[in-house]
């Protein structure tokens, strides 16, 4: 009997030791730093111990949790939705910008700048209820495919980051999205794709109005952008919505700099992670010169601030959740 | 042995049956309706079962979870703070309105209307960091006493409602505050007083700015009100921040009507609770004619909508957490 127990223990030990919480991460400094941080803040005997209530981890979405090339996926959705709306009612495309958008002419929108973008967003994202809007996003996710990978967009989430989110939650963290992407857009897939429930998704939002007809209230999406959850907007939104300073933050662009700065400037143990897009073969390689996901400040200042710079090509054995 | 077990069972049974989750509530229809609702939505065999993730309960604060007479406690704080600021720097009181406020002259503020109120709030609530502001609120709560009861303000929370919040959490609900009161103000005491953590407090907020000096970032409270969490603002804020429709809502005034309407208009089992201030002896009696906590629509329409109208004088055996 005793021998059997001993044998079982010997048999089990390596299994327990080798349980890797981040199996898609290559052996690397990045992985070691992340695991060492989580070990320290969750060990009640460590001087760096943090209570579960304060284990808040925040992540950007575009380029951090899923891909963002050749253009933010939400913009692709907006253009596809305009095309669909125009099939039912051609008068939807009332301007040259909207016509170009419905034809998938990205250059026209880029050339039109901020005004063109808002025009496309207003036409595709307002004038309907939040429920109707989210149903249209869900339908699009079910059918649309990325032009380069052929994958559904919600399978272009990064497997190593999905593992990191799960690992953090297993260790008592609450994981939040804090993204420049649309709040209502992201909530459609965040729970299935990342295990992040609606109340832990923060993002850019349009105004909404509360309307009652025949005693039945509806919340409608209004035109215009009420809050931009980017740059300084990120720590402002975190303070307003969560009311605690995170102890871990992840991002990939200068739009995330303030969020990572705010996180790591707090007292006690803090970790900032920057995903550096270095993998032209399996994903895309871009940073300082990219119009999307531009990363300058993070590369210049992050290392001195002790931030973990993830080298996607080196540090990740696998890229997409969907396939690779 | 068997007999002893039987005796123990007989002895225990009444204890278990009599464990009352709401001991400060008198036997009443209100109490029966609340318990029947919670039993139904938490019973996996009930057709009305609701998964824990969807068990969201939202509560107004002023007049619902704590008292609000003779004036919102936050306004008393603002006036006390102005007086304290003026001791250090008399030039703080640069206008007649601010001078009157620092002297506790409520009538002057009421007569000055919205502009006077904003002036008092700006002078007392902005131009400092969120951390500094919250430290001043904590200090005030430690020393200020209510003129009528002599109680610290955070002991004028309603014991029956504190029990209800705890009962709901014990049954797998997440409890939120959704109040016209100030977000930063309420977060100072919500966790100790109600067991509600910062990320589950929604309220009216001033704008904030993110400023960095010597690499040290701070979030500062700016003048002006960026969002009023009252009337239609409540369901709008719930949708934006929580992203789920609550299944239970509690309030006490017409400022809560839209929140209760939005809650009960959803599919499946829903419960709305209105606290009716009927107890002139132990608390205050007011409704249709009151400038604070005015309640007309709720009394007129609530009963037909199946809302629970709590008669404070009849339904609550005890009022304040602090004493009664």
A187 and B CB contact within 8 Å: yes
Residues in A closer than 8 angstroms to B195, CB to CB, are none
First and final CA of chain A: distance in angstroms?
Answer: 47
Nearest residue on chain B to A222, judged by CA atoms?
Answer: B236
pLDDT at B215: 81
Q: How distant, in Å, are the alpha carbons of B112, B188, B192, B259 from that of B134? A: 27, 6, 14, 27
pLDDT at B19: 87
More confident residue, A296 or B7: A296
pLDDT at A114: 87
A228 and B CB contact within 8 Å: no
pLDDT at A16: 52
Nearest residue on chain A to B188, judged by CA atoms?
Answer: A243
Share of chain B above pLDDT 70, in %: 94
Across the interface, do A217 and B242 touch by the CB < 8 Å criterion? no
Average pLDDT over residues A190-217: 96
Average pLDDT over residues B25-32: 98
Across the interface, do B208 and A239 touch by the CB < 8 Å criterion? yes
Tell me the H-state helices in B144-271: 159-170, 183-187, 190-194, 233-241, 257-264
Model confidence pLDDT, tens digit, residues B157-192: 999 999 999 999 999 999 999 999 999 999 999 999
Residues in B closer than 8 angstroms to A240, CB to CB, are 183, 205, 208
Nearest to A239 among B130, B201, B241 (CB): B130
Domain boundaries, chain A: 22-70+157-315, 73-143
Residue from A55, A235, A238, A239 to probe the interface with B (highest B Cβ count within 10 Å): A239
Query: What would the CATH number be for the domain defined by A22-70+157-315?
Result: 3.40.50.1000
Average pLDDT over residues A302-324: 95
Across the interface, do A243 and B187 touch by the CB < 8 Å criterion? yes
First and final CA of chain B: distance in angstroms?
Answer: 47
**The tokens 């007309």 sit on which residue?**
B296
B244 and A CB contact within 8 Å: yes
Helical pair B159-170 and B29-42, crossing angle rounded to 10 deg: 20
Q: For chain A, where are the E strands, in sequence order?
A: 56-59, 174-182, 201-213, 216-227, 248-251, 271-278, 285-286, 308-311
Mean pLDDT score of chain A: 94
* Element containing residue B211 per DSSP (H, E): strand B201-213
Query: Which residues lie closer than 8 Å to B276 by C-beta, 6 or more apart?
Result: B252, B287, B295, B299, B309, B310, B311, B312
Across the interface, do A210 and B197 touch by the CB < 8 Å criterion? no
Residues in A closer than 8 angstroms to B265, CB to CB, are 215-217
Residue from B195, B243, B244, B258 to probe the interface with A (highest A Cβ count within 10 Å): B243
Across the interface, do A217 and B258 touch by the CB < 8 Å criterion? yes
Closest-CA residue to B61 (of B237, B305, B255): B255
Across the interface, do A198 and B242 touch by the CB < 8 Å criterion? yes
A186 and B CB contact within 8 Å: no
pLDDT at B151: 98
pLDDT at B208: 97
pLDDT band at B284 (very low <50, low <70, confident <90, very high): very high
pLDDT at A18: 58
Average pLDDT over residues B255-283: 97
Q: Measured between CA atoms, how close is A232 to chain B, in angstroms? A: 6
Nearest to A53 among B130, B197, B208 (CB): B197
pLDDT band at A1 (very low <50, low <70, confident <90, very high): very low
pLDDT at B1: 41
Nearest to A241 among B232, B241, B262 (CB): B241
Residues in A closer than 8 angstroms to B53, CB to CB, are 197
Across the interface, do B235 and A53 touch by the CB < 8 Å criterion? no
A240 and B CB contact within 8 Å: yes
pLDDT at B114: 87
Nearest to B183 among A235, A240, A261 (CB): A240
Across the interface, do A265 and B217 touch by the CB < 8 Å criterion? yes
Model confidence pLDDT, tens digit, residues B38-90: 999 999 999 999 999 999 999 999 999 999 999 999 999 999 999 999 999 99
pLDDT at A251: 98
Model confidence pLDDT, tens digit, residues B291-304: 999 999 999 999 99
3.40.50.300, 3.40.50.150, 1.10.3720.10, 3.40.50.1000: which CATH number matches B23-70+157-315?
3.40.50.1000
Nearest residue on chain B to A56, judged by CA atoms?
Answer: B199
Q: HEC profile for B116-169? A: HHHHHHHHHHCCCEHHHHHHHHHHHHHHCCCCCCCCCHHHCEEHHHHHHHHHHH
Nearest residue on chain B to A188, judged by CA atoms?
Answer: B243
Mean pLDDT score of chain B: 94
Cα dihedral across residues A88, A100, A186, A24: positive or negative? positive
pLDDT at A225: 92
pLDDT band at A110 (very low <50, low <70, confident <90, very high): confident
Q: Is the pLDDT of residue A319 over 50?
A: yes
């Amino acid at each position: 009997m005793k021998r059997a127990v001993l044998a079982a223990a010997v048999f089990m030990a390596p299994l327990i030791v080798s349980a890797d919480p981040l199996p898609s991460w290559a052996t690397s400094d990045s992985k070691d730093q992340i695991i060492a941080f989580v070990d320290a803040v969750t060990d009640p005997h460590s001087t760096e111990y943090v209570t579960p209530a304060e284990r808040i981890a925040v992540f950007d979405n575009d380029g951090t949790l899923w891909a963002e090339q050749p253009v933010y996926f939400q913009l692709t959705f907006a253009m596809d939705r305009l095309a669909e709306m125009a099939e039912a009612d051609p008068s939807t495309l009332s301007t040259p910008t909207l016509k170009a958008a419905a034809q998938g002419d990205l250059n026209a929108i880029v050339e039109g700048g901020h005004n063109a973008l808002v025009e496309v967003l207003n036409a595709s994202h307002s004038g309907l209820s939040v429920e109707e809007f989210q149903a249209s996003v869900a339908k699009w996710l079910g059918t649309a495919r990325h032009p380069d990978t052929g994958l559904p967009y919600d399978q272009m989430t990064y497997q190593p980051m999905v593992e990191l989110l799960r690992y953090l939650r297993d260790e008592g963290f609450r994981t939040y999205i804090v993204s420049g992407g649309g709040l209502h857009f992201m909530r459609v897939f965040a729970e299935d794709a990342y295990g992040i429930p609606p109340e832990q998704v923060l993002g850019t939002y349009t105004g909404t109005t509360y309307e009652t007809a025949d005693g039945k209230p509806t919340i409608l999406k209004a035109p215009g952008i009420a809050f931009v959850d980017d740059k300084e907007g990120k720590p402002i939104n975190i303070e307003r919505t969560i009311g605690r300073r995170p102890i871990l933050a992840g991002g990939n662009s200068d739009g995330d700099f303030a969020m990572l700065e705010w996180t790591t400037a707090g007292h006690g143990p803090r970790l900032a992670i920057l995903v550096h897009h270095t993998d032209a073969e399996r994903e895309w390689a871009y940073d300082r010169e990219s119009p999307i996901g531009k990363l300058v400040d993070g590369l210049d200042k992050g290392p001195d601030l002790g931030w973990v710079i993830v080298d996607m090509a080196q540090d990740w054995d696998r890229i997409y959740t969907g396939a690779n």
